[in-house]
Amino acid sequence: MNQMVKILLAEDQALVRQGLKMMIETGDGLFVVAEASNGEEVLSLLEKHPDIDLAILDIRMPHMNGLDAAKIIRERYPKVMTLMLTTFNDDEYAIEALKHGARGYLLKNADAEGLIRAIRTCIEGGLAIEPQVAATVVPLLMNRQKTETTANSVLPDDITERERTIIGAVGRGLSNKEIASELFLTIGTVKNLISVILHKLELRDRTQLAIFAIHNGLADK
């Protein structure tokens, strides 16, 4: 990865934070340029570092947790992506974070390879959900979304075959770059098509589209 990715890392346990920082920075082009121990510090640091690309947030922190911080970041800093740090006991918080725009989850006990893979997936436009987390969180998400997606359970007639394919690819967690390569399209075309799809399905963002695809069995196509 040649692109320099500037990361804000928020974790209230200093030793855990330092360990994560060391592992993250073994990835080419990944730099932790700011560190925080709670959500309030995160927001303060973002004012000083407006060029942050990604905020990695521990879900459970004092003063302001990662979920509340993620909500505010989405409103104030829409260009800053968020990735949640979670444990197996944080499913409910993690689901709420995903619904509020988080691009996925990092397990605190993940190895360096898993951390870097999740970060790169997020930066490239995909959803970074590790298999261990997906096994418990995705079924909960699907059940949670049943009522919300009932009206959209059948694709409208104006969805094209190409758009259907892209919906499935988003549901499988592919990035725009990966979708473009798979369908022999430009990244710009993929971005435009996803915007059209969101409008047709009356969905807010890529996360809702991924949930829609999984819920309606389109992610396997």
What are the structural domains of the chain?
5-137 (3.40.50.2300), 153-215 (1.10.10.10)
8 Å CB contact between 8 and 46 = yes
The vertex-56 CA angle with 113 and 146, nearest 5°, equals 95
Contact 53, 30 (CB under 8 A): no
8 Å CB contact between 201 and 212: yes
Distance of alpha carbon 167 from alpha carbon 171, whole angstroms: 6
Distance CA 193, CA 59 (A): 33
Please state the pTM of the whole predicted model.
0.68
Q: Are 5 and 54 in contact (CB under 8 A)?
A: yes
User: For each of the chain's 221 residues, which pLDDT tens digit applies?
Assistant: 457 999 999 999 999 999 999 999 999 999 999 999 999 999 999 999 989 999 999 988 998 999 899 989 988 998 899 999 887 656 677 677 777 778 888 778 888 888 898 898 888 877 787 666 666 666 666 565 554 444 444 588 889 999 999 998 988 888 899 999 999 999 999 999 999 999 998 887 887 788 788 767 787 55
DSSP H or E stretch at residue 86: strand 81-86
CA distance 18 to 22: 6
Place of tokens 């390569």: 181
Q: Rounded to whole angstroms, how far apart are CA atoms 165 and 110?
A: 31
Q: Nearest-5° angle of CA 14, CA 17, CA 21?
A: 140
- Which residues are paired to 36 by β-bridges? 10
Please, which residues have CB within 8 angstroms of residue 85's CB and are 6 or more apart in sequence? Answer: 10, 11, 20, 56, 57, 58, 59, 66, 105, 106, 107, 108
Tokens of 23: 């592992």
| Nearest-angstrom CA–CA distance, 181 and 57 | 31
Quote the tokens at residue 108: 């605190």
Q: Considering all CA atoms of the chain, what is the largest pairwise distance in Å, rounded to the nearest integer?
A: 54
